[in-house]
Amino acid sequence: MPIAHVRVAADRTVQVTVAGTTSQHPDVGAAIAHLTALAREQGSELTVKLDDHGAERTLHIDASGRLRTVPEAEVASGSDGTAEIRQGDDGEDPEGTGSGAHAPQQPLAGPEAQADYPVRDRFSGPADPTGPPTGSIPEQKAGRGPIRQQGDRQRQARAGTPRRRAKRARSRLQMSGFTVPTLVLAILLIIALAAYIMPRIIGTPESQAPESIPAAHGAATQQSLSMATGGAPVPGFQATPSWEETIPLHASVTATSRGVVVVTNSQLQVLDARTGQQRFETDIDEPPSFAVDTVIDGRPALVWRIGDRAYALVDGSDEPYEYELPSGARISSAGTNVLIKNGDELSTFARGGLTRLPTPAAGSTPMALDGGDLISATFAGPLTVTDVESGQERTLDLEAPRDDLQIIRWVTAGHGKVVTLWGQPGASTNSGHRIQLVVHSLSDGTIASTVSTTTDAVGEADWVRGQGYQLAVIGPYLFSMEDGLLVRDGSESSARFSEPRGHVVPAVIDNTPVLVSADTAWKVRTNLLAVTAADGYAITREGADRVVGYRSER
């Protein structure tokens, strides 16, 4: 059985090696879609060895393209036969943003990778001090199973044989002057009353479907997603490249609106996203752990981190600022500005070096830095916004979606929004309850939108901000970062969204890779790296040695 080796880089791009052939993919979802298509085309089964910074998983794809996980016992029994192949795989670890195999929206990275990767900062919100550990399973009350089974057997014994039951039924039909038509009418009346009353008590399936509710409006509607075959590599962009640049074979590539970062074992290069021309080049000892767009002293910049040093290439400059970070410091780009956390000390990037920020009160967790506003909160609330220049604080009480609900998880904050999960008392992130996913405005704490969903869908999911900060994904839901409204519920079309690229979202629908734009899913096999907002370019990777830019049709 062929074996595919899938390696996830620090910036979440993915390298796939099958039968000596290596290909690059923007995330795990795209890689798995490629492998399922390959299994169908070849009509053969495929074993997938997924290596995510030391966290290894084994998946199996059958000849029809169906995907399943392999139990640990099977992995252990087959490890001897694959050890030699794994040692012989000397491919590079590419960089990128990613998602899970079965749920490509979710990263499979271990704690270290999650701590360094700013877009998916799992620790951007305060934790419940009284709740169970993440991933724990609530204990079930024991002792009821045997009693219930015994009662069932007693009821079955009392019911008697079919002949005796039929005899009793005939005698009941003749009791008290009831005729068969009268009894049938009575039963129909009871059924009609139940059909009218029960939905008002327990709700209907439609009433529990996810919906987006603007603060002072009715439920927002979403158009159905239609499938189409694209003629251009990226929908809405010209079919002819505006520029293309040759890069080293199997180099890792990360693209943003601010630039295209090309990384090999010993070199880092930044290309202009509008022209493909080189802006900066340097030798490196190790690959960067991430690259992200941000703002430094009011100017857009591209920031990347290598070890305990960070570099910021500001727009219009060909030389980056260099910063020495505290050892073990964590970086979060949840807000418009990068927030650096080193124990209780907070700082951010400035053109003159690192700038210290006020420390929140004890027990409060810093979540994001939006311009000059530091956002922090305790688990019980309220949320605090601190002016980093004056130190002045203001508190926000978040509007509750319902009076009987309370916050069970702070998901994230930044870019003018705060995202939380609300449930009834006793609910937790893995309790199986129906909950509310709520997006609030950071200006006044009012609700921008709510989605009625379940802990299975979003309880442990990350709020994945898209490249360009136009869209965000959490679980099966796609949101607008501008107004906080739900753009699309992927569960309705079985769509699994990856990290958005500008206004375009890579996804997988029925094992088919697509690019979702507005209400259309385009069937194209494009490795889309970025969509720039202001200049209107789509940047793709084509083959192992080319990066291509396409101009917008508008």
Residue 129 has pLDDT above 90, yes or no: no
pLDDT at 492 (0 to 100): 85
Within 8 A by CB and 6+ apart from 273, the residues are 255, 256, 257, 258, 259, 260, 530, 532, 535, 537, 539, 549
Q: Which two tokens stand for residue 271?
A: 């290309």
User: Among 432, 379, 431, which residue's Cα sits nearest to residue 407?
Assistant: 379
Cite the residue boundaries of each domain of the chain with CATH code 2.40.128. Answer: 288-395
Residue 360 — very low, low, confident or very high, per pLDDT cuts 50/70/90?
very high
Residue 552 — very low, low, confident or very high, per pLDDT cuts 50/70/90?
very high
pLDDT tens track for 481-530: 999 999 999 988 889 999 999 999 999 999 899 999 989 999 998 999 99
Within 8 A by CB and 6+ apart from 397, the residues are 381, 382, 383, 445
pLDDT at 395 (0 to 100): 94
Residue 114 has pLDDT above 50, yes or no: no
Structure-model confidence comparison of residues 92 and 49, the more confident one: 49
Cite the residue boundaries of each domain of the chain with CATH code 3.10.450. Answer: 397-465
- Kindly indicate whether the domain formed by 397-465 is annotated with CATH number 3.10.450: yes
Q: Which CATH number fits domain 288-395: 3.60.15, 2.40.128, 2.60.40, 3.30.450?
A: 2.40.128
Spatial contact of 169 and 161, defined as CB atoms under 8 Å apart: no
Residue 286 has pLDDT above 80, yes or no: yes
pLDDT mean across residues, the chain? 78
Spatial contact of 421 and 458, defined as CB atoms under 8 Å apart: yes
pLDDT tens track for 146-179: 444 444 444 444 444 444 444 444 444 444 444 5
Residue 90 — very low, low, confident or very high, per pLDDT cuts 50/70/90?
very low
pLDDT at 44 (0 to 100): 79
pLDDT at 130 (0 to 100): 58
> What 3-state DSSP class applies to 175?
helix
Question: Please, which residues bridge with residue 3 across strands?
Answer: 47
pLDDT at 257 (0 to 100): 87
| Residue-wise DSSP of 471-502 | EEEETTEEEETTT--EEEEGGGTTEEE---BT
pLDDT at 190 (0 to 100): 67
Residue 145 — very low, low, confident or very high, per pLDDT cuts 50/70/90?
very low
pLDDT tens track for 32-85: 878 887 787 777 788 888 877 667 788 888 887 777 766 544 444 443 333 333
pLDDT tens track for 302-334: 999 999 999 999 998 999 999 999 998 999 999
Radius of gyration (C-alpha) of the chain in whole angstroms: 27
User: Among 478, 457, 482, which residue's Cα sits nearest to residue 468?
Assistant: 482
pLDDT tens track for 396-454: 999 999 999 999 999 999 999 999 999 999 999 999 999 999 999 999 999 999 999 99
pLDDT at 20 (0 to 100): 62
Lowest mean pLDDT among 217-221, 446-450, 468-472: 217-221
Q: Considering the chain, what percentage of its residues have pLDDT values greater than 90? A: 51
Residue 370 has pLDDT above 90, yes or no: yes
Lowest mean pLDDT among 100-114, 221-235, 262-276: 100-114
User: Among 422, 494, 495, 498, which residue's Cα sits nearest to residue 455?
Assistant: 422
Residue 95 has pLDDT above 60, yes or no: no
